[in-house]
């Protein structure tokens, strides 16, 4: 793994168009403390749309996705500077997704702690509207005490299937059981938590997977597919190794059946169920006393 420290000019990226800027309650910014993702050599790296984005292809044209990571060494300092310079009313409008192009708890985070340092900054500013921390990594449990101090933080955990054997037959990834455990730990810690089935991969059965999701402790559940969620109606996914390994990659009916099952059973459990973009961008603004 090629890991290099880099200094960047900004760390909050405005979202004016695209996936995160749509839906009923769009995000205003994305935040990435890393460039590239060490999970790129696991299953999620097979279909990850970020490998086709300019911030990767222009920076590392000769390196395969998942073989190199840039550590934004000044990310927390830039975040502190940006938040401190804002008027309170401006901060109250901020809806930040962390992150859209790389997992904030990928393996190098254990050493470099860029995500943790950013959370420490957020913990000093209680007046933002939303921070979604999107990960598939059990390492996020380390920072639950920090997330407890951020009243607008949601931990969003990717669990794209309940079939560990299927995941392992591709390129593996963080163990599913440890991700379920992360969701339970977050709920027990009082951290707002959602699960993203994104993209929905082949699973055991609608009833079995659906019930486990409903009983997971997550307050929100989101179902997505490569066709709906890759930002190009499936064109990016069609270029990936995942499309070669999984001939059924563009079949969306299993995901729709799972969504329908969850939607039919969630209301009595006070769980919100969302689909793709509208689900990701479906957390209402905070209410202030």
C-alpha–C-alpha distance, residues 52 and 65, integer Å: 9
Asked whether 199 and 224 are in contact (CB, 8 A), the reply is yes
Q: Looking at residues 166-180, what average pLDDT do you find?
A: 97
pTM, rounded to two decimals: 0.95
Question: Which residue did the predictor score with more confidence, 230 or 204?
Answer: 204
At 67-114, the pLDDT tens digits run 889 999 999 999 999 999 999 999 999 999 999 889 999 999 999 999
At 184-195, the pLDDT tens digits run 999 999 999 999
Number of alpha carbons in the 13 Å side-chain half-sphere of residue 128: 27
In 3D space, the residue among 61, 59, 37 whose CA is nearest the CA of residue 49 turns out to be 37
| Residue 225 located in a structural domain | yes
| Residue 287 located in a structural domain | no
| Residue 243 located in a structural domain | yes
Percent of the chain with pLDDT over 70: 96
Q: How many domains does the chain have?
A: 1
pLDDT value at residue 55: 63
| Residue 117 located in a structural domain | yes
| Residue 289 located in a structural domain | no
Q: Which domain holds residue 52?
A: 2-280
CATH value at residue 187? 3.80.30.30
C-alpha–C-alpha distance, residues 54 and 116, integer Å: 26
| Residue 160 located in a structural domain | yes
């Amino acid at each position: 793994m090629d890991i290099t420290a880099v200094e960047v000019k900004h760390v909050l990226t405005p979202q004016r168009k695209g996936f995160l800027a749509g839906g009923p309650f769009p995000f205003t910014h994305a935040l990435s403390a890393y460039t590239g993702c060490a999970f790129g050599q696991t299953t999620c790296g097979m279909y990850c749309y970020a490998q086709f984005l300019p911030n990767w292809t222009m920076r590392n044209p000769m390196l395969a996705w998942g073989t190199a990571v840039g550590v934004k060494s000044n990310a927390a300092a830039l975040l502190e500077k940006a938040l401190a310079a804002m008027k309170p009313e401006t901060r109250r409008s901020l809806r930040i997704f962390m992150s859209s192009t790389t997992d904030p708890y990928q393996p190098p985070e254990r050493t470099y702690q860029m995500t943790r340092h950013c959370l420490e900054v957020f913990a000093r500013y209680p007046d933002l509207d939303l921070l979604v921390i999107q990960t598939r990594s059990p390492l996020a449990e380390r920072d639950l005490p920090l997330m407890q101090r951020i009243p607008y933080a949601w931990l969003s955990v990717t669990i794209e299937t309940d079939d560990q054997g299927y995941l392992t037959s591709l390129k593996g990834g963080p163990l599913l059981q440890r991700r379920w455990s992360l969701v339970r730990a977050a709920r027990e810690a009082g951290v707002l938590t959602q699960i993203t089935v994104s993209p929905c991969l082949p699973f055991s059965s609608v009833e079995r997977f659906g019930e486990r999701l409903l009983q997971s402790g997550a307050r929100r559940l989101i179902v997505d597919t490569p066709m709906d969620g890759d930002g190009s109606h499936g064109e990016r996914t069609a270029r990936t190794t995942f499309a070669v390994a999984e001939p059924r990659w563009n079949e969306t009916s299993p995901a729709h059946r799972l969504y329908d099952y969850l939607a039919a059973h969630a209301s009595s459990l006070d769980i919100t169920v969302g689909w793709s973009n509208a689900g990701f961008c479906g957390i209402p603004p905070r209410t202030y006393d």
